[in-house]
Amino acid sequence: GLMRTVPVEVALKRCFEHVIAGLPASQRHSWPAAAPAAGTGLPPVVTEEKKRRDRDARGPRREAIAPPRRRGLRVEPVSVSDYADLIGGRETGGQGPLQQRGVAVARRTARDFPATLPNLLMMALNGPEPETGVGHLVNLLAVHDAVPNKTTCKKLMELLKLGPKDNGRAVYFKDCYRIELTADYVLGILGASSRLVRADGTALFGPSSWEDIETLLEQSTAQTENVISGGRLAEALHLAGRGARLLSLMFQTELRCVDLSWTRQRFDSDALNSMPTVRLILSRGARDALKLAVRQTTKMLMRHSNLIFSGGRGIGDSRARENNGKMSTTEAGHCFSDLCSTVSYVSFLFCIQESLSSLADPSLSYLINSEFSSEVLRSTEDLPSMKVAERTKFERRIKLHFCSALQNCGEFSRPLATQLATIIGLEGDSSCCRI
């Protein structure tokens, strides 16, 4: 009946010994000699610090075993990209779509599509869900630096010139949604030209023949022939607007590193190899190309003047602006601006080929005025109902709008617009500085 006090450690040890003694011999377990910590008889405490030391002693974990490949499949490594080169205006990187004019940067070599992929993606683009095909194309361009081959580029150019084909037949139709998706992707290729180049040094995208340039210039009148108003006119102007925008951006992309204010320069063969649009213009003859560009731009302005002018009378029904809707009005204005931009770029090439001192040379302005005035006269001859005073006022407004659009094309084209305004009799007119 006597009670005495024993330490807790001794009591726990005796309890463990009593329990172990009652177990069969096969189930008994004794702690190793080094197990007691500080003489307590308890197993050592494994701390987080000891776990960390054990992991460091074992070294890094082995990599997971790659799954077995299927026969016939080839695994290619994909470079890690943080998309820094796709963002313009970055101080570090400097290879975004927006580059300072006159500054050339080092460009990477673009990757080509696999052999069977272009046909598959073109089928997806012409299928019932074109956004799926365009999504794959944009992903290949932005992430993998992969661009379509020249055959696929010709098909994309044909789609932007004439529209999609009807079930693969030689019957074209206008689909604003499909054309818009294709135009966005092609303009993305042109934007990527500031950071990518093909292995052979050629441009990522461009016209393959003079017929491509000619068709893009004539879209605004050829596609709207015998179309007065309604949805058909809006669809035709949408296609023409995307074609004019493409042509203007091809010039802008190819001449992005050229000082446009200096016409005393020449393009060597290596430079022209990466400038398909410029090469075709110079080989065809910059004079003939400039005449065609001015003629088509003036014809477009005369035919769709009721849409382009912000108010007042133009050629056609005065109610056409309201009937055609905002889409036709917007597309007509954008198409005319891009055509004027093309005129300014071709004028620059004309000065180089003709060895003119600058864009302010009078011979350039006289050539433009000759084609412009001839087309205005040809278009107004079919308006017998317009009085002489109204016709004079209308022609003056056409001249003001044309010169103002040329002036807004860029800093390099302002001397041309100023000289042209002087030749056609608009010198000192304040309206020439605004649209």
Condensed to tens digits (0 to 9), the pLDDT of residues 296-320 reads 999 999 888 888 886 444 555 445 4
pLDDT at 170: 66
pLDDT at 287: 94
User: Residues with Cβ < 8 Å from 280, sequence gap 6 or more?
Assistant: 207, 209, 210, 213
Count Cα neighbours of 74 within 13 Å in the Cβ-side half-sphere: 2
Mean pLDDT of 318-345: 80
User: Residues with Cβ < 8 Å from 41, sequence gap 6 or more?
Assistant: 9, 12, 13, 16, 31
Distance of CA 146 to the CA centre of its chain: 14
Task: Check pLDDT > 60 for residue 285.
Answer: yes
Window from 74-83, 91-100, 168-177 with minimum mean pLDDT: 91-100
Q: Which phi and psi (to 5°) does residue 265 adopt?
A: -145, 165
**Which of the listed ranges 72-81, 98-107, 218-227, 343-352 does the model predict with the highest average pLDDT?**
343-352
pLDDT at 127: 74
Task: Check pLDDT > 50 for residue 21.
Answer: yes
Window from 92-101, 148-157, 250-259, 293-302 with minimum mean pLDDT: 92-101
- Residue 260 neighbours by CB distance under 10 Å: 18
In angstroms and rounded to an integer, the radius of gyration of the C-alpha atoms of the chain is 36
**pLDDT confidence band for 71 (50 / 70 / 90):** low
Task: Check pLDDT > 80 for residue 214.
Answer: yes
Helix (H) or strand (E) holding 157: helix 150-162
pLDDT at 231: 79
pLDDT at 173: 76
Cα–Cα dist 358/360, whole Å: 5
Cα–Cα dist 333/175, whole Å: 20
Q: Say what the pTM is.
A: 0.71
**pLDDT confidence band for 433 (50 / 70 / 90):** very low
**pLDDT confidence band for 279 (50 / 70 / 90):** very high
Task: Check pLDDT > 50 for residue 81.
Answer: no
**Which of the listed ranges 97-101, 220-224, 315-319 does the model predict with the highest average pLDDT?**
220-224
Mean pLDDT of 110-137: 81
Task: Check pLDDT > 50 for residue 265.
Answer: yes
**pLDDT confidence band for 45 (50 / 70 / 90):** low
b/e sequence 373-398, b meaning 16+ C-beta within 10 Å: eebbeebbeeeeeeeeeeeeebbebb
pLDDT at 186: 92
pLDDT at 371: 93
pLDDT at 294: 95
pLDDT at 84: 39
- pLDDT top residue among 282 and 428: 282
Task: Please provide the average confidence, as pLDDT, over all residues in the chain.
Answer: 77
Task: Check pLDDT > 50 for residue 171.
Answer: yes
